[in-house]
Structure 1
Amino acid sequence: MEEATAKRKDAHLDLCATGDVEPAGNSTLLEDVRLVHCAMPEMAVEDVDLSTEFLGKRLRHPLLITGMTGGTERAGVVNRDLALLAERHGLAFGVGSQRAMAEKPELGSTFQVRQVAPTVPLVGNIGLYQAVQIGVDGVRRLADAIGADGMALHLNAGQELTQPEGDRDFRGGYTIVEALVKAFGARLLVKETGCGIGPEVARRLVELGVHNVDVSGLGGTSWVRVEQLRASGIQAEVGAEFSSWGIPTAAAIASVRRAVGPETRLVASGGLRTGLDAAKVIALGANVAGMALPLFRAQQAGGLEGAERALGVILSGLRQALVLTGSASCVELQRRPRIIVGQLKDWLAAL
């Protein structure tokens, strides 16, 4: 089991680095969000304050490098490089699923990033159904082992159903969420993995006491597609049919914000690639924008220097979007007018 998990992690990295993991027909629907230009912003670029709070710490920029990997030597390098990037620029950082670490504790070093990122809000990560198996104490041990500020509980039924060795029993989810809320309080983050969280599920999570939700919508890496590319036979065929399954990121973040009100901290991830994408999800109600693939690919192509350059482009784009809407902060951006058109308008009318 342990070796299979490690091999799967490296296969995931290979596919995400070069493979067809973003189906062409999938869309975040962020193209249906129009931010309104302010011809006279009456501010300097230096006036923009992008800081926000996340997991009890202050971010200089409202970005989370979302959890993607861990469990192999190669994954450890990725984690350390991107965590160092987060430390330099005041971002949050999440590790990938710690399932491999739960199965084989000696793999913990591939998730250890505190030596390069001592101050970042660090998010651990375990799947909902692995959490059911190892219990609250097991989840707490995983968080403590890497010095995490918070723990992400990821929901990935779509991925599991396509994964050849994936889970097939999805009972007991809300029960473990309730138990983890009691153990972690505001340190718990519940997240999807590319199929999106809708308003009904979000409301129930908040009713159970969840303070942080990452909608992780459709439009970026499809983990159903990743597993489809690994599978064969019936699972590969059905995976192809469902590789565009989910709630687009823009529809998820806007509808969930409307459903849960202003108190819940929302992360919007799933297909964000630019600073303008980040600005749009913040305008729709996100507190933090999450992304991983563009920085991972830049790191694979050009190491830490490549990832640094890619992040610089993203942060410059985000700052420019605020200036061009006349917004000195993310809170001001959320008060500015925005236009919703096309399919996104239809989604929001239906949700």
Structure 2
Amino acid sequence: MPTNKHPYPNNPYSRRKDEHMALATRFTGTGNQLNQIHFVHQSLPTVAADQVDLSTSFLGQHFPTPLYINAMTGGSARAKVVNGQLATIAARLHLPMAVGSLSAALKVPALAETFTIARENNPDGFLMANIGADKTVADAEQAIALIGADALQIHLNTVQETIMPEGQVVPNWRAHIQAIAAAVSVPIVVKEVGFGMSRDTLTALPRIGITTADISGRGGTNFAEIENARRPGRDFAYLADWGLTTAQSLLESQDFPGTVLASGGISDPLQVLTALRLGASGVGVAGWLLRTLLDQGPEAAEEQLRTWLAQLPQLMALVNAANLSALKKQPIWYDEPLLSYAQQRRLSLP
């Protein structure tokens, strides 16, 4: 792994990205509440693991499994190595992958190579570009072209921008998203960055041309704490628990007319299964994978994902589900905190 030296002089973006990566291994949520949802045990098997079909479709593509590698990094020498390693893993396991925010490359062209490494290492894979909702149509088109992206993520990060020393929240994001959705030629997913999505937000998305949402709930990498750690005095420390958990966000998404993707603290195959049961068409992993890669190396990260992919059909068989459509019909029950949340929010339980 490269040292913390910065080969891109006079560039604050690389320093910020390295700080984010280092702090992401320290600041994670206390739980996405997916462990508060339980499958009703079935003692008589009707499905064998080798009969299970894990295939799914989202963003105009059919995939053999519902897992994807979500946006993490880019914009520094260290991030270039990580993006290259993640892309190699994605290529070997045939998983979709998103790069981190391309804003740095749009502002400092020399940083483009820290993102294009993903396409170099995964020339035929499904790659998603990533930009903020403050970006223009021209920015979106440049980001897509830079990595030959098959889809575009537009991230929503009001909490992060509020706390970030360099941040700014301006109320023009809907107009920007709508303009991008009308102009670009690839599918778009609007995603949170770990604070979840409410029914109100999800209801607004189709009105601006968005039919795929990654709810990215609280419980994984905590950008409130990360940005507080970068601020002198930690002025916003009281926002550490802000947002909706992954489970709460999935309950909020039940009436969304488009495709729901789930991420936010996903740390084992049972959580993947639970998110799929609550209606997700795909499940993204990020923080857990990054920590494994940084702490144990890319081989360990790849092996862990292989283990997940091997265990998912076994878990599907355990609940007598031959495919994802059947999985969504399996009986489940909820712990009291989630049940109370759904009742207070007047949400239907799937």
TM-score (norm 2): 0.92
Hey, what's the Cα distance between the residues in 2 that align with 1:204 and 1:325? 35
Given the alignment of the two structures, is residue 43 of structure 1 paired with residue 43 of structure 2, yes or no? no
Which residue pairs with 1:158 in the alignment? 159
Contact 1:136 1:179 in 2 (8 A): yes
Cα offset, 1:304, TM superposition: 2.0
Contact 1:65 1:93 in 2 (8 A): yes
Contact 1:38 1:324 in 2 (8 A): yes
Secondary structure of the structure 2 residue equivalent to 1:115? helix
Cα offset, 1:83, TM superposition: 1.6
2:121 to 105, 116, 127: 116
Which residue pairs with 1:176 in the alignment? 176
Secondary structure of the structure 2 residue equivalent to 1:272? coil
RMSD: 1.6
Hey, what's the Cα distance between the residues in 2 that align with 1:85 and 1:41? 33
Which residue pairs with 1:280 in the alignment? 274
1:13 to 17, 21, 28: 21
Which residue pairs with 1:250 in the alignment? 247
Q: Mind listing any 5+ residue stretches in structure 2 that lack a counterpart? A: 1-8, 346-350
Q: For residues 96-111 of structure 1, what are the structure 2 equivalents within 5 Å?
A: 96-111=100-115
Cα offset, 1:296, TM superposition: 1.1
Hey, what's the Cα distance between the residues in 1 that align with 2:125 and 2:340? 38
Contact 2:164 2:228 in 1 (8 A): yes
Opposite residue 90 of structure 1, the aligned amino acid is: H
CA displacement, residues 102-143 of structure 1 (integer Å, 9 cap, x when unaligned): 1111211111112222332211111112x1xxx101211111
Hey, what's the Cα distance between the residues in 2 that align with 1:102 and 1:321? 43
Contact 2:24 2:222 in 1 (8 A): no
Which residue pairs with 1:4 in the alignment? 12
Given the alignment of the two structures, is residue 95 of structure 1 paired with residue 99 of structure 2, yes or no? yes
Which residue pairs with 1:338 in the alignment? 332
Secondary structure of the structure 1 residue equivalent to 2:304? helix
Which is worse superposed, 150-159 or 74-83?
A: 74-83
Hey, what's the Cα distance between the residues in 1 that align with 2:263 and 2:276? 11
Contact 1:22 1:220 in 2 (8 A): yes
In structure 2, the CA distance between the partners of 1:205 and 1:2, relative to structure 1 (3 Å rule), is: farther
Secondary structure of the structure 2 residue equivalent to 1:77? helix
Cα offset, 1:38, TM superposition: 2.0
Hey, what's the Cα distance between the residues in 1 that align with 2:71 and 2:270? 21
Cα offset, 1:2, TM superposition: 6.6
Q: Mind listing any 5+ residue stretches in structure 1 that lack a counterpart? A: none
Which is worse superposed, 43-52 or 61-70?
A: 43-52
Hey, what's the Cα distance between the residues in 2 that align with 1:201 and 1:185? 24
Contact 1:265 1:286 in 2 (8 A): yes
Contact 1:185 1:209 in 2 (8 A): no
Given the alignment of the two structures, is residue 237 of structure 1 paired with residue 235 of structure 2, yes or no? yes
Cα offset, 1:149, TM superposition: 0.7
Cα offset, 1:186, TM superposition: 6.3
Opposite residue 7 of structure 1, the aligned amino acid is: R
Q: For residues 223-234 of structure 1, what are the structure 2 equivalents within 5 Å?
A: 223-233=223-233
TM-score (norm 1): 0.92
CA displacement, residues 211-237 of structure 1 (integer Å, 9 cap, x when unaligned): 21000111111101111111112xx13
Given the alignment of the two structures, is residue 213 of structure 1 paired with residue 210 of structure 2, yes or no? no
Contact 2:68 2:96 in 1 (8 A): yes
Hey, what's the Cα distance between the residues in 2 that align with 1:2 and 1:201? 38
Opposite residue 260 of structure 1, the aligned amino acid is: F
Cα offset, 1:91, TM superposition: 1.4
Cα offset, 1:185, TM superposition: 6.2
Contact 1:299 1:307 in 2 (8 A): yes
Which is worse superposed, 181-190 or 29-38?
A: 181-190
Q: Which has the higher helix share?
A: 1
2:28 to 22, 31, 35: 22
Secondary structure of the structure 1 residue equivalent to 2:82? helix
Given the alignment of the two structures, is residue 265 of structure 1 paired with residue 259 of structure 2, yes or no? yes
Contact 1:271 1:291 in 2 (8 A): yes
Contact 2:265 2:288 in 1 (8 A): no
CA displacement, residues 70-105 of structure 1 (integer Å, 9 cap, x when unaligned): 011211111121122122222110000111101111
Which residue pairs with 1:66 in the alignment? 70
CA displacement, residues 289-328 of structure 1 (integer Å, 9 cap, x when unaligned): 1111121112112322111122123223322221110111
In structure 2, the CA distance between the partners of 1:344 and 1:185, relative to structure 1 (3 Å rule), is: farther
Opposite residue 115 of structure 1, the aligned amino acid is: E
Percentage identity across paired residues of the two chains: 33
Given the alignment of the two structures, is residue 222 of structure 1 paired with residue 222 of structure 2, yes or no? yes
Contact 1:195 1:246 in 2 (8 A): yes
Which residue pairs with 2:131 in the alignment? 126
Which residue pairs with 2:4 in the alignment? none
Hey, what's the Cα distance between the residues in 1 that align with 2:344 and 2:263? 21
Opposite residue 149 of structure 2, the aligned amino acid is: A
Hey, what's the Cα distance between the residues in 1 that align with 2:91 and 2:59? 15
